[in-house]
Amino acid sequence: MLKHPVAPGARRQDFPGGTVRARLLGLVLRSTVKPLLGIWARYPLAPWPYAAIDHVGKLLTVAPGSSTTPVRLPNCDARLVSPPEPRDQHTVLYLHGGGFYVGHQHLHRQMVARFATRLGSAVLAVNYRMLPHHAVGDSIADCVDGYRHLVRSGIAPSEIVIMGDSAGGYLALMTTIEAIEQGMPAPAAVVAMSPLADWSPAGKLGAPTSTTCDVFPARAVPVLTAQAEAARQRSRTRAGRAPLRSPVDCDLARLPPVLIQASSREMVYPDAVHLAERLADHGVECTLQVWRDQVHVFQAAAGIVPESARAVAQIAAFVDGIASARSRQRLLRA
């Protein structure tokens, strides 16, 4: 592993990759998901079975021992996943990915349960409202409601980690930003896996990773931005009509420590680098971990790909480090 600074206040860590299993996973996704997303980009208004895609998650096995409790938020459901051996150091607010179109209860349940078990933390997973029927602003509002629910239930913000992958990485950042703007205390930390951080397609399409990504065809990037903007214009809610904001363009100065993980070959790699630079510009403690030759949100394959398992271990180490720092601060104040 190589380490070198990205900018003052941030550091970059480069990890090797390219194991046989990682390459096979990339081949499978490049042969299946990427062509399908290419078709979607040509016909985004077709009646795609977005809700049905979530049921694919029923095929995924979940390690025994964790338990799930349903939670009702003002405009959506959520589920609280409790680990078999809780350590009570942190509670995680998990915001799933899926391009703002898919996800919900089943597709990410294995990943959520894995984080609950690995971290020894309860995880509140928000089934936020999504495109095409709701705007991204509605998604953010639901995630802020999830954070507010945890705080009102008696959990200190300093004990909450907001975590998300892909679109959920965007939501983890925007939830933190908007919660702070609404006067709420910042969480302990943010973990963003392969996050979308800039709605502008230019930085992504102008980079070499626009052709090396195993999941997203280049044509899908501007289509997603256009569909998100169209949903915003159609929205009848105050939150939904709010302008689309990119985390890289926001005031980031009050954010807590942030861990960003990305693959060196994925479409949103330029977003991850830009985000780390912007966080550093604002004086925010940030670590950018770049994993060579992995797929988008490769952490989801932690059960089969060695690099994915190591990435999850790095996330656990980051969260444990936040808890240790908080304990030291308490001792100093005692």
Q: What is the DSSP string of 290-323?
A: EETT--TTGGGGTTT-HHHHHHHHHHHHHHHHHH
Query: H-type helices in 103-196, by residue range?
Result: 104-107, 109-119, 136-152, 167-181
Does 57 fall in a domain? Answer: no
Rounded CA-CA distance 112/328 in Å is 29
Residue 69 covered by a domain: no
Write phi, then psi, for 153 (nearest 5 degrees): -80, 0
3-state secondary structure of 172: helix
Q: Of residues 121, 266, 274, 308, which has the active-site annotation?
A: 266
In angstroms, the Cα distances linking 107 to 6, 57, 101, 302 are: 34, 4, 12, 15
Q: Which helix (H) or strand (E) holds 38?
A: helix 33-42
DSSP per-residue letters across 43-91: -TTS---HHHHHGGGGGS---TT-EEEEEE-SSSEEEEEEPSS---S-E
Give, as one character, the DSSP assignment of residue 253: T
pLDDT at 4: 40
Residue 334 forms part of a structural domain: no
pTM: 0.94
Domain-located, residue 49: no
Q: Among residues 274, 287, 222, 216, which one has the least CA distance to residue 247?
A: 274
Strand order in the sheet with 189-193: 2-7, 10-15, 286-291, 258-263, 189-193, 160-165, 91-95, 122-127, 77-82, 67-72
- To the query of whether residue 266 is one of the catalytic residues in this protein, the response is yes
The residue assigned the tokens 């194991």 is 19
How far is Cα 155 from Cα 184, in angstroms, rounded to an integer? 13
What backbone torsions phi and psi does residue 102 show, to the nearest 5 degrees? -130, 165
Q: 166, 210, 235, 308: which is the annotated catalytic residue?
A: 166
> What's the domain count of the chain?
1
Residue 55 lies in a domain: no
Tokens of 122: 């309860």
Q: Is residue 225 part of a domain?
A: yes
Q: Which two tokens stand for residue 131?
A: 């495109």
Element (H, E) at 329: helix 306-333
Task: Identify the pLDDT of residue 65.
Answer: 79
Please give the DSSP secondary-structure letter assigned to residue 186: P
Domain hosting 308: range is: 2-44+75-328
- 183 phi and psi, to 5 degrees? 95, 5
Q: Which CATH number fits the domain that encloses residue 103?
A: 3.40.50.1820
Tokens 């799933």 locate to 96
Quickly tell me which residue has 């670590």 as its tokens: 287
pLDDT tens for the 334 residues of the chain, in order: 334 445 556 799 999 999 999 999 999 999 999 999 999 999 999 999 998 887 777 777 777 778 899 999 999 999 999 999 888 789 999 999 999 999 877 788 889 999 999 999 999 999 999 999 999 999 999 999 999 999 999 999 999 999 999 999 999 999 999 999 999 999 999 999 999 999 999 999 999 999 999 999 999 999 999 999 999 999 999 999 999 999 999 999 999 999 999 999 999 999 999 999 999 999 999 999 999 999 999 999 999 999 999 999 999 999 999 987 776 676 666 6
Assess if residue 313 is contained within a domain: yes
Contact 231, 266 (CB under 8 A): no
Residue with tokens 């959920």: 168
Active-site position among 96, 108, 274, 296: 296
281 located within any domain:
yes
166 catalytic per annotation: yes
Per-residue confidence (pLDDT) for residue 171, from 0 to 100: 99
d(CA 59, CA 39): 25
